[in-house]
């Protein structure tokens, strides 16, 4: 039995130009939303103003427009984002959540440098060096880390119809919820935003499994446990040969494809081929049944191109 899904989201970060991997994840999200008649939110994570650039934001709208990828809620332009949907408008809410975590003694201050953390663990992982140092949370230039040893491991609702205990991975132990510059960190803002907008279905790559577990753990420490009823779908990692598809200005950046004269049909067909769909795809409406069919036939599901 499939879960009841009401809303999912496209959640790009404007820290680079969108690439084919982003588009494939968008198309998977849209396909599953249409299957369940769920609404789609465009949520642009623009809080990190040092990395956010207007051209990256515009690239998101250009890509969605070119490929005619639909969404029901969210900004329709750069100015609409800045005036109505930017995460900056939700800063008071994030800060309230941070204050609640501090009040409940669920966070501690850390003044370790990145160099010190890298040198203290073979894989550069943080191991809780400041957990018992009692560095004041009010001290300037410290990050706030979550006491991930608190509580039990939450379980994740996995699409289509299973549950799995989600223990905090070593890579996410004592993860940061407030950065040294004072801004709330991604894990906290993501949980807060999904709850704020009523998102109950999260589609993301398998490489973000650790992040999902961290967010579930954070959610379980909040009074209303906002992700308790959220369903997750982690699609397999999308690869180009031996490399993960990632933000780039290279051949797989949508911007590059557009400038080289590639049309919507060619980009959609190329995206579909990474999922083992070997037929021409002219529109999103053609992609959806082709993807859902591939999902139902595992031998052809998410085949990486070599």
**Is residue 35 situated within a structural domain?**
yes
Q: What is the mean pLDDT of the chain?
A: 90
Task: State pLDDT tens for residues 82-115.
Answer: 999 999 999 999 999 999 999 999 999 999 998 8
Residue 9 pLDDT class (50, 70, 90 cuts): very high
When pLDDT is cut at 50, 70 and 90, the band that residue 22 belongs to is very high
Show the domain range for 202.
7-300
Residue 223's pLDDT band (cuts 50, 70, 90): confident
Evaluate if residue 300 carries a pLDDT over 50: no
- Strands 155-158, 143-146: pairing is unpaired
Please count the CA atoms within 13 angstroms of the CA of 226 that sit on its side-chain side: 19
In a domain, 289, yes or no: yes
With a cut of 50, say whether residue 299 has pLDDT above it: no
Is residue 121 very low, low, confident or very high in pLDDT (cuts 50, 70, 90)? confident
Check if the beta carbon of residue 173 is closer than 8 Å to that of residue 128.
Answer: yes
pLDDT digits (tens, 9 = 90+) for 106-120: 999 999 998 888 888
Q: How many domains does the chain have?
A: 1
Percent of the chain with pLDDT over 90: 76
Which has the higher per-residue pLDDT, 171 or 282?
282
Cβ count near 171 (within 10 Å): 14
Q: Is the pLDDT of residue 242 over 50?
A: no
Mean per-residue pLDDT, 4-16: 95
Q: Which two tokens stand for residue 203?
A: 């589609």
Two structure tokens written together for 90: 């939700």
Instruction: Read off the tokens for 269.
Output: 């067909």
* Burial (Cβ within 10 Å: 0-12, 13-18, ≥19) of residue 165: exposed
Higher pLDDT, 207 or 244: 207
Q: What is the pTM of this model?
A: 0.91
**Cα distance between residue 11 and residue 107, in whole Å:** 27
Closest CA to 25 of 271, 216, 285: 271
Q: Exposed (0-12), middle (13-18) or buried (19+): which is 279, by Cβ within 10 Å?
A: exposed
39-78 core/surface letters (b: 16 or more CB in 10 A; e: else):
bbbbbbbbbbeeebeeebbbbbbbbbebbebebeebbeeb
Residue 305 lies in a domain: no
pLDDT of residue 251 exceeding 70: no
Q: Domain for residue 306, yes or no?
A: no
Q: Is residue 74 part of a domain?
A: yes
User: What's 120's domain CATH number?
Assistant: 3.40.50.620
Closest Cα partner for 178 from 119, 254, 106? 106
Whether 1 is in a domain gets the answer no
44 vs 245: CA distance, rounded Å: 20
Q: What is the mean pLDDT of residues 255-266?
A: 94
> Within a domain: residue 295?
yes
Q: Do the domain assignments include residue 2? A: no
């Amino acid at each position: 039995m499939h879960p009841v899904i009401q809303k999912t989201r496209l959640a790009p970060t404007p820290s680079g130009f969108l690439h084919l991997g982003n588009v494939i994840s968008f198309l998977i999200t849209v396909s599953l939303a249409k299957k369940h008649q769920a609404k789609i939110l465009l949520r642009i994570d623009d809080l990190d103003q040092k990395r956010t650039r207007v051209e990256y934001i515009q690239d998101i709208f250009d890509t969605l427009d070119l490929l005619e990828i639909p969404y029901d809620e969210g900004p329709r332009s750069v100015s609409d984002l800045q005036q109505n949907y930017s995460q900056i408008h939700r800063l008071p809410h994030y800060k309230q959540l941070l204050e609640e975590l501090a009040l409940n003694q669920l966070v501690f201050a850390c003044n370790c440098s990145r160099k010190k953390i890298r040198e203290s663990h073979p894989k550069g992982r943080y191991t809780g060096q400041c957990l018992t140092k009692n560095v004041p949370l009010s001290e300037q230039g410290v990050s706030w880390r979550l006491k991930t040893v608190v509580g039990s491991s939450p379980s994740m609702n996995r699409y289509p119809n299973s549950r799995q205990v989600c223990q905090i991975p070593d890579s996410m132990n004592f993860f940061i919820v407030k950065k040294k510059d004072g801004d709330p960190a991604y894990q906290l803002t993501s949980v807060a935003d999904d709850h704020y907008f009523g998102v109950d279905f999260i589609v993301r790559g398998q490489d973000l499994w650790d992040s999902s577990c961290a967010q579930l753990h954070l959610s379980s420490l909040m009074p209303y446990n906002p992700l308790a009823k959220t369903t997750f779908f982690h699609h397999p990692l999308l690869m180009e040969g031996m490399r993960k598809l990632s933000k780039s200005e290279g051949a797989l950046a949508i911007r590059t494809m557009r400038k080289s004269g590639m049309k919507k049909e060619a980009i959609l067909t190329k995206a579909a081929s990474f999922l083992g769909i070997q037929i021409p795809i002219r529109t999103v409406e053609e992609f959806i049944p082709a993807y859902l069919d591939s999902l139902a036939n595992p031998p052809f599901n998410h085949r990486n191109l070599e």
